[in-house]
Structure 1
Amino acid sequence: MTSGSADTDAVPGRFTLVLHSHLPWLAHHGRWPVGEEWLYQSWAASYLPVARVLRTLAAEGRSNLLSLGITPVLAAQLDDPHALAGMHHWLGNWQLRADEAAMAGNVALGRHEHGLAATALADFEQRWRHGGSPVWRELIDAGTIELLGGPLSHPFQPLLDPRLRTFELAEGLADARHRWGHTPSGIWAPECGFTPGMETEYAAAGVTHFMVDGPALRGDTTLGRPVRESDVLAFGRDLQVSYRVWSPKSGYPGHSAYRDFHHYDHATGLKPSRVTGKQVEGPDKAPYDPELAAAAVRRDVDDFVTTVRERLITESARIGRPALVVAAFDTELFGHWWHEGPQWLEQVLRALPEAGISVGTLADARANGYVGEPVPLADSSWGSGKDWRVWAGEQVRDLVELNAEIVRFTLDTLDKMRAEAGGAQARDRIADQLLREAVLAVSSDWAFMVSKDSAAGYARDRAHRHCHAIREIAGAVLGGQLAKAHDLAAGWYAADGLFPALDARRLGPAASMAPSTGGHIEHRGPA
């Protein structure tokens, strides 16, 4: 049985849920308040329970439940031995903190958290100790989910040198193939960032569909749209439906019965309160009540199903054919930000087909003809203003300039190393590390965190640290100190050793060395 098998003719069209799972590289780069703690919290609260929900639904015979994006940089951390050991320790510590809360007099909180921690610890020890790849591959192989891939480090692609942009996407898709035995045909474009010309790069990489935000399609998200003259489809997020869940003003997680994300018990690090009211200060919030929250979940599941049903009927009538409704969210919303999110997710994926709503993936939508007329897709993102201001505005002008400078310097250094090697094909670990650090330096997260004033100091430090690594290694290379360069590269690899298969030999040639490619962009610097 598929997820949309129950009375699918009752409601026209199809619903698709898309989840985007991403964190920047955090291993070996601090612990608290920003660093590995961020990874372990998201892993415990979101990745473990979301995978568990999908396994439960798969065991009921349901398939094609949703399209799940997992960025290569997150996948690398979920497979990393250091992160796996740290996560196991973190889960055990969570259980101890729950016991401390109970002994301090908050028995209800302690009991609730102890149960969650024990379940997570057992799940982790049974399924995750050898990494996240086996967990996700089981779901992919079973047809439970469609895997969406993406570029290696989640860069804001429109601002990235096209040569590095092409490399990151090709390597990201190859990384997915290596981990899961599947090369994604769909991607979540990082930050839904787009600039004209990228569609030809997608087509060349074998990408057939990608995500944009609704305004990029001028709000008409009822069908996938071929981008310009290509066959690559852009699927748009339906904001009317998506904001029903995740809106700062009226989204479900802000309702009074749900656990409050922001208020901590500082002795244990646990969250003891429910939202209570938007104007209620932390110390005055009411205690969290799981039964009250469970009733709110049921109410919000019903509301969401009604919203999707009405949207499908209305939009199908408007366009004169069955319509597609795509709701898209960060996976970390479900559990990490919204404690009850996994409960809601499990219930809503059962309730939608029970209400006669056909549920499928983006690949299903493409295969089943939910395709409209071509669209002249323009510069866009899913950030504030739906433009590039979060990643290219005045607040982050220094990071934009830093990225452009360090990418040019890295590529120029690699080109000089190639020329001096005279066509030699041996793998060069120095070149690999230079490219690895450049990939990490241009992560979109650093500019986002600065623009949103969320651990901005950490973000700037991370960007500059990776740039420092490049300058240090390249300085030794250009100064003819190759032994020193080898030592420096090895030292930085100890901290930033993700993507061990990264091979600088696969970076495309410089524009002046490359054959003509017709419409391909062949310049350097930010787009």
Structure 2
Amino acid sequence: MTEGTFCLVLHSHLPWLAHHGAWPVGEEWLYQAWAHSYLPVVDLLERFAGEGREDVLTLGVTPVLAAQLDDPYCLRGVHDWLGDWQLRAHSAAPRLPELSAREHRASRWALEKFETRWRHGFSPILKSLVDSRTVELLGGPAAHPFQPLLDPGLRAFSLRTGLADTRLRLGSAPEGIWAPECAYAPGMEEGYAAAGVRRFLVDGPSLHGDTAAARPVGSSDVLCFGRDLEVSYRVWSPKVGYPGDPAYRDFHTYDHPSGLKPSRVTGVRVEPGDKAPYSPQDAAVVVRRDAADFVDVVVRRLRSLRERHGKPSLVVAAYDTELYGHWWHEGPAWLEAVLRALPEAGVRVTTLRGAVEAGHVGAPVEIPPSSWGAGKDWHVWNGPQVADVVDLNAGVQRELLALDLAGRTRDPVADQAVREALLALSSDWAFMVTKDSAADYARYRAKVHADRFAELAALLRPGGGRGRGRARAAELRALDGPFGHLDARGLG
């Protein structure tokens, strides 16, 4: 390998959706991502594992998503959804025979993969991929909070809870995390070091674009990796990217009687009814073209970095896993083509761990307050559009910290109160409001968890009603039950 090193990082995350609505957001969101992204991407990784390939990519799986991918209720739900997908494919046969046949094959494949590999949840599969070193796993805080806006004690508790959850599922805690929203505030590296975290992700502008090596943060030995936007945006940016090619399947256009997607993108200003039928053969040609283009982009970027720094350098490209298959139907095929072609072009493909082992570590750096959101600052999560959510979150934190849970005996009411507080503080709700993506649902979710927390907090106080509190906590845990190991006393 002569050109340099490339790391692909995939961030797998959805908020807690079980028991919170079905369609168009809610459980449907989980099942679509499961069927169209998680199944094919994991299948790709298992095939690489079967070939004996190590350090293929770095895979982030948030604890709150892992909880859903192991949850018996969600496992039954996605199995039903996959069966319904096949029935919907059959229903389209009289009107759209080619689409019906194509979707039948896809749903049959997904059902077979689920029934033979996934019926006992994701953790056994993920453990095999981690143990074989096919992937490096990144963990994270429990319910994906925007960490800079958390009280430091709550921030540390959330991270410990998330890492402990991964350890229980896989037998070991990850050394790296995907910091939710790539959000950073000065000093957070000290909390990472205390929790045993050795590396994390930031966005490229946080390092002023100098992403050619991992960098120790401040005086710590915790390393940060910066996303190379010059390369990452070739796939997907706020305005352009491969998935918008006219030949690819259009995400937004439905055949409403069946719920299937029959059209190609065709053009950005083409109305849904005027879009051309999707052709897998035409799309496959474009996948090969775009994969070759991406490899060329990576090679040219590595050569320019080597000229600048006088040594082989590093490129980190990072994306949401859900882009591959769910949002971009052809994404998994493109991913496989790229991961196979890069080594042939002289590029070392490895993980963040592998990049450190290869010596891609630079000088210490001070990082400003930042994120990977619009503007690369925090306004998506604390701007005027979400002032109500910010105020709600601040109130939850104040009341939670005032409970003084340390020193008590283990209490399922306190545990569920903390669980509801963590779910209320998820970064997803503010993001969805700012982006006007199911904003009403997001506000409802933040409010319902905050209300449930307040209800349980009241029952914890003297005279609140202990027996009634236990019954209510059990009722709520049946609905919101991730992180069963969570011990509220650790917050003290």
TM-score band, normalised by the shorter chain?
over 0.9
Partner Cα separation in structure 1 for residue 234 and residue 51 of structure 2: 28
1:46 aligns with 2:37: yes
Amino acid paired to 1:52: D
Which of 408, 411, 435 pairs up with 1:452? 435
Partner Cα separation in structure 1 for residue 156 and residue 36 of structure 2: 34
Alignment-derived partner of residue 191 in structure 2: 201
Structure 1 residue 59: Cα displacement: 1.5
Which of 54, 60, 66 pairs up with 2:57? 66
Q: Is the Cα contact below 8 Å between 1:474 and 1:485 reproduced in 2?
A: no
Q: For each residue in 1:323-358, what CA deviation from the matched residue of structure 2 results, as whole angstroms up to 9, or x when unmatched? A: 100000000000000000000111111010011111
Alignment-derived partner of residue 253 in structure 1: 243
Which of 278, 286, 309 pairs up with 2:276? 286
Amino acid paired to 1:475: A
Q: For each residue in 1:188-245, what CA deviation from the matched residue of structure 2 results, as whole angstroms up to 9, or x when unmatched? A: 0000000001000001111111000000000111011111111111100000100000
Q: Is the Cα contact below 8 Å between 1:185 and 1:207 reproduced in 2?
A: yes
Partner Cα separation in structure 1 for residue 220 and residue 287 of structure 2: 42
Which of 433, 448, 452 pairs up with 2:416? 433
Output aligned runs, 1:13-162, within 5 Å. 13-103=4-94, 105-162=95-152
Amino acid paired to 1:384: A
Q: Is the Cα contact below 8 Å between 1:57 and 1:346 reproduced in 2?
A: no
Partner Cα separation in structure 2 for residue 165 and residue 83 of structure 1: 28
Q: CA RMSD in A?
A: 1.0
Partner Cα separation in structure 1 for residue 393 and residue 160 of structure 2: 20
Structure 1 residue 480: Cα displacement: 3.2
Structure 2's unaligned 5+ residue stretches are none
Amino acid paired to 2:415: D
Partner Cα separation in structure 1 for residue 82 and residue 218 of structure 2: 48
Amino acid paired to 1:351: A
Residue 327 of structure 1 aligns to a residue in which SS?
strand
Q: Is the Cα contact below 8 Å between 1:472 and 1:488 reproduced in 2?
A: no
Q: Which runs of 4+ in 1 moved over 4 A?
A: none
Matched residues, number: 491
Partner Cα separation in structure 2 for residue 247 and residue 435 of structure 1: 36
Residue 359 of structure 1 aligns to a residue in which SS?
strand
Partner Cα separation in structure 2 for residue 192 and residue 310 of structure 1: 26
Amino acid paired to 1:467: A
Amino acid paired to 1:63: E
Structure 1 residue 138: Cα displacement: 1.2
1:481 aligns with 2:465: yes
Tell me which moved more, 467-476 or 310-319: 467-476
Q: For each residue in 1:79-107, what CA deviation from the matched residue of structure 2 results, as whole angstroms up to 9, or x when unmatched? A: 0000000000000000011111112x211
Alignment-derived partner of residue 301 in structure 2: 311
Q: Is the Cα contact below 8 Å between 1:148 and 1:185 reproduced in 2?
A: yes
Q: Is the Cα contact below 8 Å between 1:438 and 1:466 reproduced in 2?
A: yes
Amino acid paired to 2:478: A
Partner Cα separation in structure 1 for residue 402 and residue 228 of structure 2: 42
1:345 aligns with 2:328: no
Amino acid paired to 2:13: H
Amino acid paired to 1:379: P
Output aligned runs, 1:280-429, within 5 Å. 280-413=270-403, 415=404, 418=406, 423-424=407-408, 426-429=409-412
Q: Is the Cα contact below 8 Å between 2:9 and 2:318 reproduced in 1?
A: yes
Partner Cα separation in structure 1 for residue 102 and residue 411 of structure 2: 52
Alignment-derived partner of residue 174 in structure 2: 184
Residue 92 of structure 2 aligns to a residue in which SS?
helix
Q: For each residue in 1:278-305, what CA deviation from the matched residue of structure 2 results, as whole angstroms up to 9, or x when unmatched? A: 1111100000000001001000010000
Structure 1 residue 322: Cα displacement: 1.3
Partner Cα separation in structure 2 for residue 101 and residue 480 of structure 1: 56
Partner Cα separation in structure 2 for residue 123 and residue 453 of structure 1: 35
Structure 1 residue 436: Cα displacement: 0.4
Residue 495 of structure 1 aligns to a residue in which SS?
coil
Q: Is the Cα contact below 8 Å between 1:20 and 1:331 reproduced in 2?
A: yes
Partner Cα separation in structure 1 for residue 397 and residue 440 of structure 2: 22
Partner Cα separation in structure 2 for residue 214 and residue 71 of structure 1: 21
Partner Cα separation in structure 1 for residue 239 and residue 181 of structure 2: 22
Q: Is the Cα contact below 8 Å between 2:325 and 2:332 reproduced in 1?
A: yes
Structure 1 residue 249: Cα displacement: 2.8
Amino acid paired to 2:376: K
Partner Cα separation in structure 2 for residue 171 and residue 71 of structure 1: 12
Alignment-derived partner of residue 266 in structure 2: 276
Amino acid paired to 1:79: D
Q: Is the Cα contact below 8 Å between 2:185 and 2:368 reproduced in 1?
A: yes
Partner Cα separation in structure 2 for residue 180 and residue 272 of structure 1: 40
Structure 1 residue 485: Cα displacement: 1.3
Amino acid paired to 2:427: S
Amino acid paired to 1:481: G
Residue 370 of structure 2 aligns to a residue in which SS?
coil
Residue 347 of structure 2 aligns to a residue in which SS?
coil
Q: Is the Cα contact below 8 Å between 2:211 and 2:226 reproduced in 1?
A: yes
Structure 1 residue 401: Cα displacement: 1.2
Tell me which moved more, 181-190 or 20-29: 181-190
Amino acid paired to 1:228: G
Q: Is the Cα contact below 8 Å between 1:17 and 1:326 reproduced in 2?
A: yes
Partner Cα separation in structure 1 for residue 114 and residue 332 of structure 2: 17
Partner Cα separation in structure 1 for residue 156 and residue 446 of structure 2: 21
Structure 1's unaligned 5+ residue stretches are 1-7, 510-527
Q: For each residue in 1:237-295, what CA deviation from the matched residue of structure 2 results, as whole angstroms up to 9, or x when unmatched? A: 00010000012432000001000001111111111100011111110000000000100
Amino acid paired to 1:234: C
Partner Cα separation in structure 1 for residue 281 and residue 172 of structure 2: 41
Alignment-derived partner of residue 238 in structure 1: 228
Q: For each residue in 1:430-468, what CA deviation from the matched residue of structure 2 results, as whole angstroms up to 9, or x when unmatched? A: 110111011100000000000000000000000000011
Q: TM-score, normalised by structure 1?
A: 0.92
Amino acid paired to 1:280: V
Structure 1 residue 477: Cα displacement: 2.5
